[in-house]
A and B are shown apart, each in its own frame.
Chain A
Amino acid sequence: EAGVTQSPTHLIKTRGQQATLRCSPISGHTSVYWYQQALGLGLQFLLWYDEGEERNRGNFPPRFSGRQFPNYSSELNVNALELEDSALYLCASSYGTSGGAFVEQFFGPGTRLTVL
């Protein structure tokens, strides 16, 4: 069974540009979660999508947004990039609509975003 996949592996942008990160969940999983892991810091919850809807959001500004497509894949968009947005962005998926409270989340390998 294929795991969670993310693309691209690495992304280099300059300040002020927009970045688009993509995630394909495990087949059969309907929920997708996005996390930011800045260097030396713990993972920070960004967004949770389920059945195409945004279900919950972490403490990030509105320039962090995303969407989930009918095939349950997801896209994270970061507008007006700032230097501190440089981080590893992890996507996770789970089966079911319990919101991850009792459902296992399976993580992808991440996208390393570097903002110059």
Chain B
Amino acid sequence: KNQVEQSPQSLIILEGKNCTLQCNYTVSPFSNLRWYKQDTGRGPVSLTIMTFSENTKSNGRYTATLDADTKQSSLHITASQLSDSASYICVVSYSNSWGKLQFGAGTQVVVTP
């Protein structure tokens, strides 16, 4: 069973609308959680990184939240744009296994005009 579960698997939204992606993890011991954006055929690009002591972090129209107690995170996209169409990946880092990251399967977001 994957230690990082994302939902929904895919999402279609209208341009200008908001959406929220979910990430639940069981990775332990936990170090930090990242959200990446991956365009088709490209490498992932980091959006946010949060440690267990951080509750929220923003990067432009992207806002990530973290509840380390319930081991849940969300990524909120505000006023979506066509360029937001991509896969959004939740990534969790172990605090006792350096260099190793646990990736979720991603949520495929499609923004339509």
Instruction: Tell me the B13-49 residues at the A interface (CB within 8 Å).
Output: 31-32, 41-46, 49
When chains A and B are docked, how far (Å) is the Cα of A99 from the Cα of B100?
8
A101 touches B (CB below 8 Å): yes
Whether A17 sits at the interface, judged by CB under 8 Å, is no
Q: At the interface, yes or no: B86 with Cβ under 8 Å from chain A? A: no
Q: B41–A48 contact, CB under 8 A?
A: no
Q: How far is the CA of A35 from the CA of B101 in the complex (A)?
A: 10
Per the CB 8 Å criterion, the residue count for chain B at the interface is: 27
Q: Which of A40, A42, A44, A55 contacts B99 (CB 8 A)?
A: A55
Contact of B101 among A50, A98, A100, A106 (CB under 8 A): A100
Q: How far is the CA of A56 from the CA of B42 in the complex (A)?
A: 25
Which has the most chain B C-beta neighbours within 10 Å: A43, A104, A107, A109? A43
Among A83-116, those with CB < 8 Å from B are: 90, 92, 98-102, 104-110
B interface residues with partner A (beta carbon < 8 Å): 2, 4, 31-32, 41-46, 49, 51, 89, 91, 93-95, 97-106
